[in-house]
Amino acid sequence: MLTMDSKTQNCAAQYLPLAPVSPNQALLPLTAQVNNLDYLAIGGCDVKTLVERFGSPLYILDEATLRTACRVYRDSFAQYYPGESLVIYASKAWSCLAICSIVASEGLGFDVVSGGEIYTTLTALEQGRGSGDFSQKIYFHGNNKAKEELKLAVENAITIIVDNWLELETLVEMAAEESKPIGIMLRLTPGIECHTHEYIRTGHLDSKFGFDPNQLDSLFSYISKQEKLHCVGLHAHIGSQIFEQQPHQDLAHVLVGWLKKATEIYGLPIQELNIGGGLGISYTEQDDPPSIEAWVKGVATAVVAACKENNLSLPKLIAEPGRSLIGTACVTAYTIGSRKVVPGIRTYIAVDGGMSDNPRPITYQSLYRAVVGNRMSAPLTEKVTVAGKHCESGDILIPDALLSETKAGDILVVMGTGAYNYSMASNYNRIGRPAAVLVNEGEANLILMRENYSDLIRQDRLPERLL
């Protein structure tokens, strides 16, 4: 996956995507280069100048990598699936106006999981280039949707992916007051295991998500009697950061079997199958995910084969990638500060961020790679542990990172931070969330402002008796 020659093996430039590669397989964004000052540049903008202009920590999002990933998904389904298809962005990976606008402009739809994500998506579609009627391209997930969220979805004709009986019964009550039927899909738990972190496996039977297989007959029977609910499809999702292709191909056969039962026995008007997402990315050079194209080909081929075996017409095939669209498109730039040497044990270097802007290492024990962005060709001579600035011993971004010699003021660039970094960021220790910039062809635009001290107390209130 990583291509390097003998001149770059001993420096940070080894991480550059020097050969054509699927966006999810690259460590750095596709436009990453080293300029004549030996600085890492992304989207034609060098990281040192970006930090000087916008401060640090700083999320740097490469528009070209994001758009390329969208197009590879979209075009691969068009190539390998002879029926209708739709790629929807799992916006929980990172939802903001700019990202939603870019994704919409590439013809993708949206997987949303909260009222806030619905509002963000609708606002982006209203304000950005992706304006127009996108109601048929938005799907609402969640295992405990509030009535206010369901109402917002219904008002905007968003398809609701029903997760449980309480939600289903709530929608039946709501539908009685509506002039048109409410469009729904059913989230089912297929019982398929895959090798991923315990917290991000969602397709096995012991899961908080979806209806279990032993409920299907009662579920299909109940829905067949609800005239004000329009069941358009079935959905399943088996996990995240998956490198194996077989589980998704197995899932295709399971879903098609359930589709046959739902339509032929219970007469449900199901025309869509949502295969979920979960394709992994390269966080380190040891990671070896399949390419986006290979994943799509495998899924599409499996659905076609299963439909042929069951003598069914091809349904509309939906996939909902998140991490593999946005993950490798972004890096986070930090400024290196203090150093602590523990003789015979390890050396710590501290950066000006940490678990509040990237909670994945402390939450999932996730591994990352980093480079000194202002000295890319320097030899990799020191092994250090990159620590965050938070008052927490577990605030370690990268243990035993191999870097060039570092000093205070250097720019440390951590790769693959587009997914579940800003979206899971917090104000722990009352630290503001970082700014984010979108870079493209030498232009940098602020898409998320840095939170300042006044932002941190904006929601605070003092009772009158304390004044």
CATH label of the domain that carries residue 130: 3.20.20.10
pLDDT digits (tens, 9 = 90+) for 339-351: 999 999 999 999 9
Please write the tens of the pLDDT for every residue from 402-436. 999 999 999 999 999 999 999 999 999 999 999 99
pLDDT at 133: 66
CA angle 260/263/268 to nearest 5° reads 145
pLDDT of residue 370: 97
Does the annotation place 392 within a ligand binding site? yes
391 is catalytic: yes
Query: In this structure, what token pair is assigned to residue 231?
Result: 């069941």
pLDDT of 7? 41
User: Residue 376 belongs to what domain range?
Assistant: 12-60+329-456
Tell whether 255 and 354 lie within a shared domain.
no
Q: Is 189 found in the same domain as 308?
A: yes
Looking at 299, 321, 343, the residue that finishes a domain is 321
From its phi and psi, is residue 276 left (phi > 0), alpha (psi between -120 and 50) or beta?
Answer: left
| Residue 360 assigned ligand-binding role | yes
Burial of 199 (0-12, 13-18, 19+ CB in 10 A): exposed
Distance CA 238, CA 257 (A): 17
Residue 364 annotated as lining a ligand binding site: yes
Using DSSP's 3-state secondary structure scheme, residue 398 falls into strand
Whether residues 87 and 107 fall in one domain: yes
115 labelled binding-site residue? no
- Is there a single domain that holds both residue 49 and residue 111? no
- Flag residues of the chain having pLDDT under 70: 1-9, 129-133, 193-206
Catalytic residue among 96, 100, 307, 391: 391
**Is 420 part of any known ligand binding site?**
yes
- Is 15 annotated as belonging to a binding site? no
**Is 278 within the bounds of a domain?**
yes
308-363 confidence digits (pLDDT tens): 999 999 999 999 999 999 999 999 999 999 999 999 999 999 999 999 999 999 99
Q: What pLDDT score was predicted for residue 48? A: 98
CATH of the domain at 401: 2.40.37.10
What token pair was written down for 456?
Answer: 């941190």
Q: Does residue 308 sit in the same domain as residue 341?
A: no
Distances, alpha carbon 206 to alpha carbons 30, 203, 217, 238, 258, in Å? 38, 8, 20, 12, 20
320 assigned to a ligand binding site:
yes
Residues 233, 248 contacting (CB under 8 angstroms) = no
**Is 443 known as a binding-site position?**
no
Task: Return the pLDDT at 193.
Answer: 59
Give pLDDT, residue 134. 74
What is the number of domains present in the chain?
Answer: 2
| Nearest alpha carbon to residue 414 among 19, 60, 51, 174 | 60
Q: Tens digit of pLDDT for each residue in 176-210?
A: 999 999 999 999 998 775 444 333 334 445 678 88
State how far Cα 8 lies from the chain centre. 31
Contact yes or no for 43/316 (Cβ under 8 A): no
Considering the domain boundaries, does residue 462 fall inside one?
no
Q: Are residues 196 and 288 both part of a single domain?
A: yes
